[in-house]
Copies of this chain bind each other. A is one copy, B any other.
Amino acid sequence: MPSYKAPTKDLRFVLHDVLKVDELYASLPAFEDVSPDLIDAIIEQGAKFCEDVVAPLNESGDEEGCHWSAEGVTTPAGFADAYQQYVAGGWPALAADPEHGGQGMPNALGLCMNELTGTANWAWSMYPGLSHGAIKTLEEHGSDEQKERYLTRLVSGEWTGTMCLTEPHCGTDLGLLRTKAIRNSDGSFSLHGTKIFISAGEHDMAENIVHIVIARIEGAPEGTKGISLFVVPKVNVNEDGTLGERNAVHCASIESKMGIKGSATCVMNFDGARGYLIGPENRGLNCMFTFMNAARLGTAVQGLCHAELAYQGAFNYARERLAMRSLTGPKNPDGPADPILVHPDVRRMLLTQRAIAEGSRAFLLYLAVQGDLIRAGTEEQAKQADNLMALLTPIAKAFVTELGFEAANHGVQVLGGHGYIREWGMEQIVRDARIALLYEGTTGVQAMDLIGRKILGSGGKLLMDFTAQVDAFCQQEHPAAAQAWIDQVAQYKDEWLTLSLQIGEKAMSNADEAGAASVDYLMYSGYIVLAYFWAQIASVAAQLLSDPSRSADSDYLRAKLMTAEFYFKRLLPRAQGHRLAIEGGAEPLMQMPEELFAVAQ
């Protein structure tokens, strides 16, 4: 396993220089105390904790996995202890609302910490990570009593949370769910049913687990309109906040998975478990939709994390491993061969990983800043940010995780046969990264959300709002070193609008045209969005290169310009492959009858 070096300089660069959060936070009353120094100090502390405490458990956690018994689940050695340190450091509360014990830091800092913990050890980071959904649910829809009883303990990290949605026969299509809630005389409910794929559903890290469960109240309508939301504690909580009896919710088994083996993926049985309604009856799915963007952004980070970790491992190997000579003559003439870093294709893989990691970092932190505006901006700021989030979240979730998986595979590839061997740690990154394309809505689900709900559903408005912002950026004055990339972004922006319109027109006469275009369209859009962020990075880097006060950063800034050039010349062209595939239309997908799919013998 490559030892993890937190990219603190890059986080600072994106926040301060690219996204210019210092000016923004100074303008928002909720964040006016968030000084640049405070930001840097938090990043440094977080980095240290992740490098020293969390990262060393990544490989051992994969090797050991979780253990199930009828008494519960134990996590890999060291996981629980690291979690206690995390809680003691106050990290769970970092970006939470002060009203419930949070430190009130911006989402962007929360996302930095998600990246750092997630790169250090994604499986471990899922335990605190899953609490976010429960916290958001209770913050936005919980009663005052529920907030007092559960929320403060979740915010402190004393307890953890889960989201219990999926059932064996339904994941994406939650309207099919069968878990029942039977009304008790005291206003509580008894829940009956089985949930699967419940991350952190059971573990030994905290003394209580707060399950947020969707279920159908007896007599409720079929489909998505009869789904309600419940809070179901693992251990019942007494009036005075002390722990009472064990509730009737148990982990029946844990899944044997491809990766994230340190994360317990639980089958949870609710056998008359006591639960409490959150929000109005039958409005459970609507309540959940209010923070779905945040959850998806949290998953998008996984793509960034694994791109970064795979890059670090691959680069460390590439500068040490000797094989063959450079095509342009020996670069290590005194050695028996050159380090493989001299070979163009090895560089192509490394720069691909890096362009993905650094570009995605700017993209995702930008989205986190939109979250800050929703939370603490003016009504108009919040509305605009909400629209941007709506458009860009499915792209972030699917595109960044798809590219993160690609980057993880480049990590294996750079190491050759050694990449396939467990002890080098690179294959674990691939196995861990693979899940990100599946949970929180698969790539295909995100793609339908983008093209169906966000593009066509808004009549193109969400896209035009964003491209107006892109346009405004392109029309600013930029340093000469970045101008070529600005021009490309401007051209792509026009092409994007045209293509979207074409798909919309075709979809009017045949809805399958939207579905047939969806994933290629999402990937196409993703390459353009990432180009927009790389153009911003390049413009800022070029500006700062002529700033004498930043002369110590000149190597770092030059590397940014070089990586931007790589992105525009070597990765962005892929968008054309996707565009042309979209133009192939729906017919080649839809014409084959089901029976012709079967294998002929």
Contacts and interface: CB of A to CB of B under 8 A. Distances in A.
Interface of A: 5-10, 47, 166, 169-173, 175-176, 197, 255-259, 312, 315, 319, 322-324, 326-328, 336-337, 339, 341, 343-351, 354, 405, 409, 412-413, 416-417, 419-423, 427, 430-431, 434-435, 437-439, 442-444, 447-448, 510-512, 514-516, 518-519, 555-556, 558-559, 562-563, 565-566, 568-571, 573-581, 583-592, 594-601
Give the interface centre of A350, A354, A427 by most chain B CB atoms within 10 Å: A427
10 smallest CB-CB distances across A and B, nearest first, come from A577-B577, A569-B584, A573-B580, A344-B515, A327-B511, A258-B427, A9-B600, A173-B323, A559-B596, A344-B516
Contact of A596 (B409, B555, B586): B555
Contacts of A438: 412-413, 416-417, 419-420
A423 B514 CA distance: 33
17 contacts: A10-B600, A172-B416, A176-B323, A176-B337, A197-B417, A255-B422, A258-B412, A315-B597, A327-B512, A327-B514, A344-B515, A344-B518, A345-B518, A413-B443, A558-B596, A565-B587, A573-B583
A512 B341 CA distance: 13
Best-surrounded residue of A6, A324, A350, A568 (most CB of chain B within 10 A) = A324
Nearest to A173: B323
A437 B411 CA distance: 13
A566 B578 contact: no
Contacts of A575: 577
A402 to B, nearest CB: 10
Among A175, A555, A589, the one with the most B-chain Cβ atoms within 10 Å of its Cβ is A589
Contact of A444 (B346, B555, B585, B594): B346
What is the count of identical protomers in the complex?
2
Contacts of A419: 438
Contacts of A573: 577, 579-581, 583-584
Nearest to A592: B562
A421 B256 contact: yes
A347 B416 CA distance: 33
Main secondary structure of the interface of A (DSSP, over half): helix
B431 A348 contact: no
Given A6-B601, A322-B176, A431 B258 contact: yes
A580 B573 CA distance: 6
Nearest to A579: B573
Given A257-B427, A345-B519, A413-B444, 11 more contacts: A170-B323, A173-B323, A328-B510, A343-B515, A346-B444, A351-B588, A413-B438, A413-B443, A417-B438, A420-B435, A558-B596
Given A351-B589, A566-B589, A598-B315, A413 B431 contact: no
Contacts of A169: 322
A118 to B, nearest CB: 16
B555 A5 contact: no
A258 B420 contact: yes
A512 to B, nearest CB: 5
A169 B259 CA distance: 29
B324 A172 contact: yes
Looking at A10, A166, A587, A599, which has the most chain B CB atoms within 10 Å of its CB?
Answer: A599
Contact of A422 (B166, B258, B339, B421): B258
A500 to B, nearest CB: 17
A9 B515 contact: no
A596 B312 CA distance: 13
Nearest to A580: B573
Among A315, A442, A447, find the residue whose CB has the most chain B CB atoms closer than 10 A: A442
A594 B323 CA distance: 16
Contacts of A592: 347, 351, 559, 562-563
Nearest to A357: B599
B588 A570 contact: yes
Contact of A565 (B421, B518, B579, B588): B588
B324 A173 contact: yes
Contact of A589 (B344, B578, B588): B344
Given A176-B336, A416-B171, A444-B345, A570 B589 contact: yes
A337 B516 CA distance: 20
A323 B172 contact: yes
A423 to B, nearest CB: 7
A14 to B, nearest CB: 12
